[in-house]
Amino acid sequence: MDTGTGADPGRVAAEDVLLFVNAAITATGQREFRSTADQQRLSLDFLHEYVRVNYRRVYAAALALDINDHNAARIVLGLLEHAADASPEERRAEGRLIAARLAKLPPQRVYRLFRAVRSAGVNNRRTRAIMRDWLAARPDPAHDAVKYRAGVKATARHAHLGLGGDGELGDFLFRPGRRARYEHRLLDAWRRAHYEQGALAELPFTVAEGFAARRGTERADLLELAAPRMTRLERLRTLERRTAGPGGADVSVDLAAMPLTRLALYVLSLGTEDRLARRAELTGALRAAARRAAGPHAGSWGRVAAVLDDSYSASGSGEKRRRPLAVALACSFLLEQLAAPGACAGLWTSGRTDPLLVRPWGPTPLGMRVLDALELCPDRLVVVSDGWDNAPPGLAGEVLRVWRTRLDPDRRTAVVHLNPVYDADGFDVRRLAPEVPTAGIRDAEDLPALVELAGFAEGRTGAAALHAYLDRQVARFVHDGETGATA
């Protein structure tokens, strides 16, 4: 958002776009290590309005990028709430993007969004059609009615859906005492769960938890009943909470099948003794998840040096516990797969050499680690850090400036900084040096795409190339969404 009169308008626009994308990837409106939730929300509110008003096309196109669910829902709400600002062609293009993005969002997030749409008083024909089409595409409406009852009711009312007739789904939602029993197994299980404990085994786990809490059912008994119907993430959350005591049900989970960053969070939730005792299992699972995330890029990055931040600020906040450290840990295993075999060096700011045992501790001597990494003459240097270089302050930026301008002006070593923390005061992720491209990152799985996006931050390609990139991403995203919907 450079307002200088001598600035190139195209470059300013590109910088604004990248600034917003970085925020939409990392910021969730929650407290971070160095900023409160209110500061995060105020900063994010300003960015959303600024980009929507000045770059509406780009604002909608961000739905096709790897932004987080919080900002995707905010963009959809903004587009629907201010539909009058768009032309008919823009509204058609936005409708396809919105449909594709809603198909990727978790259902509970979509129902929450629809309630926000209702609260905002947005009730035009286009909005109702979007809500109706999304609900019609749900694989099992009865499952949603049981698990997300309030959301389904609010959506049905707002979109004027015909659920209030003689169908049993309408009876379940709006007249629950009308029928003595339901033909649909799940609806009837919900009815029986009010007086029959065995019915908990037939319900989604979160619904069964609610019934168990009201009935005073022991946690171990609930797990024994409901374990077969738990999702992988529910199993992992149960393991993290360590609530299954002796004699409880088996809530084992295939760790290697978990998303890489989610798996890294689980590893960091374990104590040192547990990590050591399960070293082979945890390391194998992290490497398997990293191989899956690397996909076709595996082994194609040559020699890689990674500077990884495990300083105290990587502990995150109460809402995002250890999230920055988990991203760094996941990136370390992913970069190992992206590099040529045996050609990846991971340098932690604490000096630790065992990634499985990292913990948030100490200052952030990024400059010293960057020097160590550059001495290895890698093809790529990747820095994963919140950017608060403080031991000594500013050394990393100075090292990178001298390296880029004097020692490696031909860019034989590609350098990129990935930052998992949004800086509310700066309306962006904190940067190390103007000469080094920086991108926000939330999930390590997005690293290859983010490295490509970060290249636009160097200012060498211009706004035209950035918009062409966004157009390609939109076309691919919409095509994939429509193909998946019709498959």
Structure tokens at 175: 């007249």
DSSP one-letter code for 403 = I
Domain final position from 210, 237, 253? 253
User: pLDDT per residue over 114-155, tens digit each?
Assistant: 999 999 999 999 999 999 999 999 999 999 999 999 999 999
The residue type of 238 is T
Whether residue 248 sits in one domain with residue 342:
no
Whether residue 282 sits in one domain with residue 312:
yes
Please list the helix, strand and coil fractions of the chain in percent, rounded to the nearest 5, in that order. 60, 5, 35
Q: What pLDDT is recorded for position 217? A: 84
Q: What is the CATH number of the domain that holds 383?
A: 3.40.50
Whether residue 275 sits in one domain with residue 331:
yes
User: pLDDT per residue over 350-402, tens digit each?
Assistant: 999 999 999 999 999 999 999 999 999 999 999 999 999 988 999 999 999 99
Q: What pLDDT is recorded for position 163? A: 66
Instruction: Decide if 289 contacts 256 (C-beta within 8 A).
Output: yes
Whether residue 397 sits in one domain with residue 307:
yes
Residues 6 or more apart whose CB falls under 8 angstroms from that of 24 comprise 62, 65, 67, 68, 71, 72, 75, 440
Q: What pLDDT is recorded for position 15? A: 81
State how far the Cα of 170 lies from the Cα of 76, in Å rounded to an integer: 28
Whether residue 348 sits in one domain with residue 241:
no
Q: Has residue 394 been placed in a domain?
A: yes
Instruction: Decide if 313 contacts 360 (C-beta within 8 A).
Output: yes
Structure tokens at 143: 């499952």
State how far the Cα of 395 lies from the Cα of 351, in Å rounded to an integer: 17
Q: Has residue 159 been placed in a domain?
A: no
Q: What pLDDT is recorded for position 346? A: 96
Q: What pLDDT is recorded for position 487? A: 47
State how far the Cα of 471 lies from the Cα of 138, in Å rounded to an integer: 28
Q: Has residue 166 been placed in a domain?
A: no
Whether residue 280 sits in one domain with residue 230:
no
For tokens 């590609």, the residue is: 414
State how far the Cα of 358 lies from the Cα of 315, in Å rounded to an integer: 11
Which regions in the chain score pLDDT beneath 70? 1-11, 163-166, 240-252, 457-462, 484-487
Whether residue 391 sits in one domain with residue 326:
yes
Q: Has residue 43 been placed in a domain?
A: no
Whether residue 360 sits in one domain with residue 320:
yes
Instruction: Decide if 43 contacts 455 (C-beta within 8 A).
Output: no
Q: Has residue 334 been placed in a domain?
A: yes
Q: Which domain holds residue 236?
A: 199-253
Q: How many domains, in total, are found in the chain?
A: 2
State how far the Cα of 309 lies from the Cα of 68, in Å rounded to an integer: 22
Instruction: Decide if 44 contacts 57 (C-beta within 8 A).
Output: no
Whether residue 340 sits in one domain with residue 290:
yes
Q: What pLDDT is recorded for position 215? A: 83
Instruction: Decide if 370 contacts 306 (C-beta within 8 A).
Output: no
Instruction: Decide if 314 contacts 361 (C-beta within 8 A).
Output: no
Q: Has residue 97 been placed in a domain?
A: no
Whether residue 302 sits in one domain with residue 385:
yes
Whether residue 305 sits in one domain with residue 411:
yes
Whether residue 302 sits in one domain with residue 375:
yes
Q: Has residue 469 been placed in a domain?
A: no
Shortest CA distance to 413 belongs to which of 438, 436, 388, 389?
436
Q: Has residue 149 been placed in a domain?
A: no
To the question of pTM greater than 0.75 for the whole model, the response is yes
Structure tokens at 182: 């339901």
Shortest CA distance to 173 belongs to which of 143, 197, 214, 145?
145
Domain final position from 253, 282, 298? 253
